[in-house]
Structure 1
Amino acid sequence: MYENYYGFTEKPFQLSPDPRFFFASDHHQRALSYLQYGLDQGEGFIVITGPIGTGKTTIARNLLSQLGDESIVAAQLVTTKLDPQELLALVVSEFNIQSKGDSKADLLQAIEQFLIQLNKQGKRALLIVDEAQNLPSETVEELRMLSNFQLENKPLIQSFLLGQEELKPIIQAPNMEQFRQRIIASAHLKPLSVAEVKEYIIHRIHQAGCEKDELFSENAFELIHEKTLGVPRKINIFVDRLLLFGFLEELDVINSETIMTVAEEMEIELTGSLNSSELTSQEPNQKTSQQVVVNSTENVEHIKEVLRDVEEILESSIKQKVKMARYVDKLLKHKSKLYAEEQIDK
């Protein structure tokens, strides 16, 4: 939508992880260094934790994109709540291993034969487990058991665990002592600072082919940090919306006024909401619902408040439709201009 207007060759703030847009903040670079160190060691577990949206998956994708070592055969799992046997079945599937059956014994035997065959070829397996906080402790323990596959005291498979903060108590549980002893390095990702938010945004717009460092006013970055708390995924959502708004309004610079306007719009929308407060339950309390008086002053005021909220939402929706209509009109004019130029060239 806004790419041509601002001179981008591609969308700079897409949500899907892309190694080309990897930004090495201090914490992210340290985590990546730990992963690379773990690869060099060829054994043990590396654990990377961090809040939602801080870039754990992007780090994994960046690591895989940099793997120039053909001796490493890598697979990445994005887990749900798997039991140990389901985990083994997923490992078999991701490594394209042929198994004689679906029993746990069959799966383990197939994995072991696959790892031994890799070893004979001078290769080893790397398993990256994303969203590892979803795994029950017994499934994490199954990963430790896989690390017991060895030949001549050398592990045949190595695992990296990437997960949200909920992964920490799982690993720190008393029954996980043997697993903890296999961890050779760990890192915890943090949100970006104000300075890093500025570097992050400029890095991504440059990576997308735009060299306009003045696209954002100087005070914009601190305000963007305030609205997104420095979380990369929230920054992507918010800045993408800022650029769309700037395109629709034909703005050359994204300033504080623009940021506040877009932030207010997003506070009452479902997509890309920046409001981190928890939603209160909409279910009526059984005790109080029996005592509601329809014509009570309190209830009337509540209804008025609800109607005001609905009015705000409808007004915002109308504004969005008007903006989208303007965008379509602008897009059609742009297409017509290109078509006319093509006809002149012919």
Structure 2
Amino acid sequence: MYDDHYGLSGRPFQLTPDPRFYFDSATHRKAMAYLGYGLAQGEGFIVITGDIGTGKTTLVGHLMATIDASRLTAIKIVSTQIEGDDMLRMAAQGMGLSTDGLEKAQILERVERMLGEQSRSGKRTLLIVDEAQNLPVSALEELRMLSNFQAGGQALLQIFLLGQPEFRERLHGTERLEQLRQRVIATHHLEPMTADEIEPYIVHRLSLVGWARNPIFTPEAFAAMYRHSEGVPRRLNALASRVLLLGSIEQLAVIDGADVAAVIADMQGDEPDVVAKPQPAAPEPVVRLAPKPLPAAADEAAQAVEQSLKARIALMESRLEEQDAAIRRILTLLVDWVDGDRDKPDRHSIRSI
């Protein structure tokens, strides 16, 4: 595997979402800002949409790793095409409540009691619903009804809806969802990364698994990766993984545009549009080889690229640390401001469904 060949401690481009590899692209930074604002309000709905593979699940994982679990209970469920009553049962089960043999009214009572207990202990509750585009109107209406639970004039439940672009279209184009629309306090649509974010993204993920600047990617390689992936993280991960596999097979210390083009052609089932690199006449022995020495000119070019990468990495790391610290401060300040601004609520439960 390429991770062994390049001395990496893990696979940086696996397709399974992993919040450890969260990358603060411009669109994800905006999404986190909207989430911070929405969470500070402590009520209503937050809606984040994005095309397949744009990093919605990774964003949620990063959010859950960032929030203070002692002050906010986050519950995540992945929705399917279920009607309202089943949506209620899924939400209750996500909160750790048993629903076996219970009528709807009994489930609602248990949910309200659990949310009230959380509130009295000083904790707010956030329900995260993934794949919201699969939910029929009845299920969305059930979620809206759950958002009506209050105590002392304060909402007991806040809901975060995560879905593909068609959910945004349904939300704004369905008359029956007017009441839900009025309760959306923050919304953002995730866009693909821009061309100048490809290199920082690749470097960021490699750095998290002990990358020692081997291999080095040329600017032409990054440009080819952007053209193929169009900035969609999942597509970029699939391509980068295959490129590193090629690099390990061919013992490459520098990966250029031609190498990326060859991988793209292979993935598309076509012949590469570049001249194929000469292959050895006989199979290589099955032993671990050191990277082939580069010609003097190529070695100088590689060193120049490496020095440039080092400088860029240092700058990006410092910026990412500053941005992460700023986001944490903003979230803490907003939550403190909202909690501090509240009068002591009347603990008697109120339902306004």
TM-score, length-scaled by structure 1: 0.76
Cα offset for 1:105?
Answer: 2.0
Alpha-carbon separation, structure 2, partners of 1:98 and 1:85: 14
For 1:243, the equivalent position in structure 2 comes to 244
Q: Tell me the amino acid that sits aligned with residue 90 of structure 2.
A: L
Alpha-carbon separation, structure 2, partners of 1:102 and 1:236: 45
Closer/same/farther in 2, CA of residues 185 and 248 from structure 1, 3 Å limit: same
Alpha-carbon separation, structure 1, partners of 2:103 and 2:263: 54
Alpha-carbon separation, structure 1, partners of 2:240 and 2:168: 31
Closer/same/farther in 2, CA of residues 327 and 80 from structure 1, 3 Å limit: farther
Q: Tell me the amino acid that sits aligned with residue 186 of structure 2.
A: A
Cα offset for 1:261?
Answer: 1.1
Cα offset for 1:268?
Answer: 3.1
Matches within 5 A, 1:1-346: 1-99=1-99, 101-172=101-172, 173-212=174-213, 215-268=216-269, 329-330=286-287
Q: Tell me the amino acid that sits aligned with residue 258 of structure 1.
A: D
Cα offset for 1:158?
Answer: 0.6
Cα offset for 1:99?
Answer: 3.7
Q: Tell me the amino acid that sits aligned with residue 107 of structure 2.
A: L
For 2:280, the equivalent position in structure 1 comes to none
Counterpart of 1:161 in 2: which secondary structure? strand
Q: Tell me the amino acid that sits aligned with residue 190 of structure 2.
A: L
Determine which structure has more spread, i.e. the larger CA radius of gyration.
Answer: 1
Alpha-carbon separation, structure 2, partners of 1:327 and 1:169: 56
Supply the RMSD in Å over aligned alpha carbons: 2.2
Cα offset for 1:48?
Answer: 0.5
**1:21-77 CA deviation, whole Å, 9 max, x = no partner?**
111111110101111221111111110011100011111000000122412111111
Cα offset for 1:197?
Answer: 1.2
Alpha-carbon separation, structure 1, partners of 2:286 and 2:93: 48
Whether the 8 Å CA contact 1:202–1:213 is kept in 2: the answer is no
Cα offset for 1:328?
Answer: 11
Whether the 8 Å CA contact 2:6–2:214 is kept in 1: the answer is no
Alpha-carbon separation, structure 2, partners of 1:263 and 1:255: 13
Whether the 8 Å CA contact 2:73–2:126 is kept in 1: the answer is yes
Alpha-carbon separation, structure 2, partners of 1:214 and 1:116: 55
Counterpart of 1:219 in 2: which secondary structure? helix
Alpha-carbon separation, structure 2, partners of 1:83 and 1:123: 29
Whether the 8 Å CA contact 1:44–1:158 is kept in 2: the answer is yes
Alpha-carbon separation, structure 2, partners of 1:159 and 1:41: 12
Cα offset for 1:17?
Answer: 1.7
Alpha-carbon separation, structure 2, partners of 1:137 and 1:99: 22
Closer/same/farther in 2, CA of residues 100 and 251 from structure 1, 3 Å limit: closer
Cα offset for 1:329?
Answer: 3.6
**1:256-275 CA deviation, whole Å, 9 max, x = no partner?**
11111111111139xxxxxx
**1:191-212 CA deviation, whole Å, 9 max, x = no partner?**
1111011111111111221141
**1:58-99 CA deviation, whole Å, 9 max, x = no partner?**
110000001224121111111111111111111122111134
Counterpart of 2:178 in 1: which secondary structure? helix
For 1:300, the equivalent position in structure 2 comes to none
Give the gaps of 5 or more residues in structure 1: 270-311, 313-325, 335-346
Alpha-carbon separation, structure 2, partners of 1:131 and 1:328: 49
Closer/same/farther in 2, CA of residues 101 and 27 from structure 1, 3 Å limit: same
Whether the 8 Å CA contact 1:131–1:164 is kept in 2: the answer is yes
Whether the 8 Å CA contact 2:195–2:223 is kept in 1: the answer is yes
Alpha-carbon separation, structure 2, partners of 1:210 and 1:148: 50
**1:213-265 CA deviation, whole Å, 9 max, x = no partner?**
86111111111011111100011111011101111111112211111111111
Q: Tell me the amino acid that sits aligned with residue 141 of structure 2.
A: E
Give the gaps of 5 or more residues in structure 2: 272-282, 291-353
Counterpart of 2:254 in 1: which secondary structure? coil
Alpha-carbon separation, structure 1, partners of 2:12 and 2:141: 40
Whether the 8 Å CA contact 1:89–1:102 is kept in 2: the answer is no
